[in-house]
């Protein structure tokens, strides 16, 4: 884990400095999207805005996917599951804080439901059958987890996981855990909008740009070309 963190941190510095160009990568291979049915149970609300927290491996790619979903008004990379005083990238990367790299998604439920966001999360944003890892990253900080913000989200998520498992939508059981929401802590500025700012960064090219392409291919009616960026609102 420490070796992987050191590798990823070193490449991050090179990417920010503009040293790394397209194709200069160590290849791990991207996860393939899985076509799954929408949830049978979904919520209805008259609210104009709602938030939901998703953890599914490195937050760069998860954020990048949700930033391209119509109806999403904000997607922030950060940490959930641990305490405020350990919510820093280097500390979380040690794997013992209880935090998972997560994305807080703010959305208009009149345009996109929580159930639809779950469908995208399970089918495109990450592989929900991988335990404590995604792609080249391993450790509990890369676990598949949902942090429902209310009882309705909890109910919808539980029902959808049961639905997908019963239908054998994946070749292995879903390992995604529903965890108690006890706060979300935004990540450092350098981690916000990372996919958009560093489209030639090797990790992004290999692991995350394919997810955005799969979103566009599988959910064309849900896809928006222009991403909703965090820094645009700063």
Do the bridges between strand 137-138 and strand 100-107 make them parallel or antiparallel, or are there none, so unpaired?
unpaired
**Is the separation of the CB atoms in 176 and 161 below 8 Å?**
yes
**Closest C-alpha to 200, from 59, 66, 20:** 20
Select which of 12, 20, 58, 100 is catalytic. 58
Rounded alpha-carbon distances, angstroms, from residue 151 to 147, 154, 180 = 11, 5, 11
64 CB burial (10 A radius; 0-12, 13-18, 19+): buried
**Is the separation of the CB atoms in 77 and 192 below 8 Å?**
yes
Whether 194 sits among the annotated catalytic residues: the reply is no
Bridge partners of residue 27, in order along the sequence: none
Question: Catalytic site residues?
Answer: 58
């Amino acid at each position: 884990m420490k070796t992987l963190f050191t590798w990823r941190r070193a490449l991050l510095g090179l990417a920010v400095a503009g040293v790394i160009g397209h194709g200069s990568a160590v290849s791990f291979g991207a996860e393939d999207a899985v076509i799954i049915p929408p949830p049978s149970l979904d919520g209805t609300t008259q609210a104009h805005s709602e938030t939901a927290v998703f953890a599914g491996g490195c937050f760069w790619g998860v954020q990048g996917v949700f930033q391209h979903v119509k109806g999403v008004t904000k997607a922030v990379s950060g940490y959930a599951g641990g305490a405020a005083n350990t919510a820093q990238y280097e500390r979380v990367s040690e794997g013992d804080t209880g935090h998972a790299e997560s994305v807080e998604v703010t959305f208009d439920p009149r345009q996109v439901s929580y159930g639809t966001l779950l469908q995208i999360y399970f089918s495109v944003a990450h592989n929900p059958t991988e335990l404590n890892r995604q792609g080249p990253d391993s450790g509990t900080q890369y676990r598949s987890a949902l942090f429902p913000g209310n009882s309705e989200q909890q109910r919808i998520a539980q029902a959808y996981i049961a639905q997908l498992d019963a239908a054998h939508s994946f070749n292995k059981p879903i390992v995604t855990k529903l965890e108690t929401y006890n706060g979300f802590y935004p990540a450092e500025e350098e981690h916000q909008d990372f996919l958009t700012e560093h489209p030639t960064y090797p990790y992004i090219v290999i692991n995350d740009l394919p997810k955005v392409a799969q979103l566009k291919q599988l959910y064309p009616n849900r896809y928006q070309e222009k991403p909703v960026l965090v820094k645009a609102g700063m």
